[in-house]
Chain A
Amino acid sequence: MTTKQVTERSLRRSVFLFQALALFLVIIYDAERMTLNRLYFALLLVGVTYIANLLVRKLLKGEPYLFIIATFLLSIGTIMIFRLDSTSGFKQIIWILAGFVMYFLSYLAMRFIPKLDKLTFLYFGLAVLLFVATLAVGREINGARNWIIVGPISIQPTEISKILLVLFIASYYSRYHQFEDLRVKNFPAGNYLLLGCVYFLMGLAVLQKDLGTVLIFAAIFLAMQYIYEPKRKMILFNFLLMAGGGTVATLLFSHIRVRLSTWINPWEYIDTIGYQITQSLFAIASGGFLGTGIGLGMPQTIPLAESDFIFAAICEEMGILTGMGIIMLFLLLCYRSYKIAFRQTDFFSRAVAIGLATMFAAQSMIIFGGVLKLIPLTGITIPFVSYGGSSMLASFIALGILQCLSEERERA
Chain B
Amino acid sequence: METKRTVRLVAAVSVLFVLLVVYMTYFQIFKADKIAMNSYNQRLSVDENAVVRGDIYDKNRVLLATSYKDEEGDNIREYLYPVLYAHVIGYNHVSYGKTGLELAYNNALLNVDTQKTFGQLKNLIAPTGKGNDLVLTIDNRLQERAYQQLEGHKGSIVLLNYQTGEVLAMAGRPSFNPMTLDANWDELLSDADSPLINRSTQGLYTPGSSFKVITAAAILENLTREEQIYEDRGETVIDGYTIKNYLNESFGEIDLETALINSVNTYFADKGVQVGASALQTTARKFMMNQAIPFDIPVAESISPFATERGLTEIAAASFGQGKTLVTPLQMALVIASIANEGKMPAPLLVDRVISPEGEVITQKSQSTLSTVLPEGYAKELKDDLIDTVNAGTRAMIEGKIVGGKTGTAETASGLTHAWFIAFLEEEDLPLAVAVVLEEDDSLGGRTAAPIAREMFLDAMYLEIP
Contacts and interface: CB of A to CB of B under 8 A. Distances in A.
B120 A293 contact: yes
Contacts of B17: 327-328, 330-331, 334, 361, 365
Interface stretch (A150-158, A176-184, A221-229, A241-249): A221-229
List 9 A-B pairs, minimum CB-CB distance, nearest first: A285-B32, A285-B35, A285-B36, A331-B17, A282-B41, A227-B5, A361-B13, A338-B10, A286-B36
Interface in B17-74: 17-18, 20-21, 23-25, 27-28, 31-33, 35-36, 38, 40-43, 46
A337 to B, nearest CB: 10
Chain A interface extent, by class: 35 or more
A288 B9 contact: no
Interface of A: 223, 226-228, 267, 270, 278, 281-282, 284-286, 288-293, 296-298, 301, 320, 323-324, 327-328, 330-331, 334-335, 338, 341-342, 350, 354, 357-358, 361, 365, 368-369, 372, 374
Contacts of A368: 20
Contacts of A301: 42-43
Nearest to A369: B20
Contacts of A324: 21, 24-25
Given A278-B40, A282-B43, A338-B6, A323 B13 contact: no
A350 B120 contact: no
A282 B38 CA distance: 8
B31 A285 contact: yes
Given A281-B35, A330-B17, 12 more contacts: A227-B6, A285-B41, A288-B116, A290-B117, A291-B117, A293-B120, A296-B124, A301-B43, A320-B25, A327-B20, A341-B6, A361-B17
Interface of B: 2-3, 5-6, 9-10, 13-14, 16-18, 20-21, 23-25, 27-28, 31-33, 35-36, 38, 40-43, 46, 116-117, 120, 124
Contacts, number: 105
A141 to B, nearest CB: 25
B28 A289 contact: yes
A226 B13 CA distance: 14
B40 A270 contact: yes
A148 to B, nearest CB: 32
20 contacts: A226-B9, A267-B38, A282-B42, A285-B31, A285-B32, A286-B43, A288-B32, A288-B117, A298-B42, A324-B24, A327-B17, A328-B17, A331-B13, A338-B9, A341-B6, A354-B9, A358-B13, A365-B17, A365-B20, A374-B23
A298 B124 contact: no
A297 B40 CA distance: 16
Contacts of B20: 327, 365, 368-369, 372, 374
Given A331-B14, A335-B10, A296 B120 contact: yes
